[in-house]
């Protein structure tokens, strides 16, 4: 009986709490093992993609933080924002001189994933780059 109780408590702790790695670096409390990010690659310079991502975030919500990660081998810039009361984290990385990758991650205030918002923001960035 004790073993069963211990197993149930351990399972509840593992499933109910956890930390989620942010694409911008660091971690945040949230539900682990849930897809919460969308990736895209564009044949555009890093600064152009980063500028488009900032425009999309400011049009849809508020920009909280932007930074450059110096610990990476490739040039990497990040954005943290609030959109529709969701935390949005964006990572823009130069894959090579002609190709730039973007990862958009969205989380609810309770720590759940919002894959639909992440996809919408990534799509809006792509549309900004076409114009």
**pLDDT > 90: what percent of the chain?**
45
Asked whether residue 68 is assigned to any structural domain, the reply reads yes
Asked whether residue 47 is assigned to any structural domain, the reply reads yes
Asked whether residue 33 is assigned to any structural domain, the reply reads yes
* Distance in angstroms between the alpha carbons of the first and the last residue of the chain: 65
Angle between helices 115-130 and 46-60 (to 10 degrees): 120
Asked whether residue 9 is assigned to any structural domain, the reply reads no
pLDDT of 17 higher than 60: no
Q: Please report the pLDDT score of residue 68 as a whole number.
A: 85
Each residue of 105-124: pLDDT tens digit? 998 887 788 899 999 999 99
Number of domains in the chain: 1
Q: For the chain, how many residues are written?
A: 131
Please give the Cα distance from 13 to 75 (Å, whole number).
38
Asked whether residue 14 is assigned to any structural domain, the reply reads no
pTM of the model: 0.79
Each residue of 27-60: pLDDT tens digit? 566 666 677 789 999 999 999 999 999 999 999 9
CATH code for the domain in which residue 68 is found: 3.30.310
Asked whether residue 56 is assigned to any structural domain, the reply reads yes
Range of the domain at 24: 19-130
Asked whether residue 6 is assigned to any structural domain, the reply reads no
């Amino acid at each position: 009986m004790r073993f069963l109780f211990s197993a149930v408590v351990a399972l509840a702790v593992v499933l109910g709490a956890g930390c989620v790695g942010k694409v911008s670096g660091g971690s945040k409390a949230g539900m682990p093992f849930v897809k919460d990010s969308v990736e895209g690659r564009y044949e555009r310079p890093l600064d152009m993609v980063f500028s488009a991502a900032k425009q999309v975030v400011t049009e849809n919500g508020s920009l909280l933080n932007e930074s450059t990660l110096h610990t990476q081998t490739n040039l990497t810039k990040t954005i943290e924002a609030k959109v529709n009361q969701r935390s949005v984290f964006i990572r823009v990385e130069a894959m090579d001189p002609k190709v730039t990758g973007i990862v958009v991650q969205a989380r609810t205030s309770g720590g759940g994933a919002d894959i639909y918002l992440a996809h919408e923001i990534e799509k809006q960035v792509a549309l900004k780059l076409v114009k």
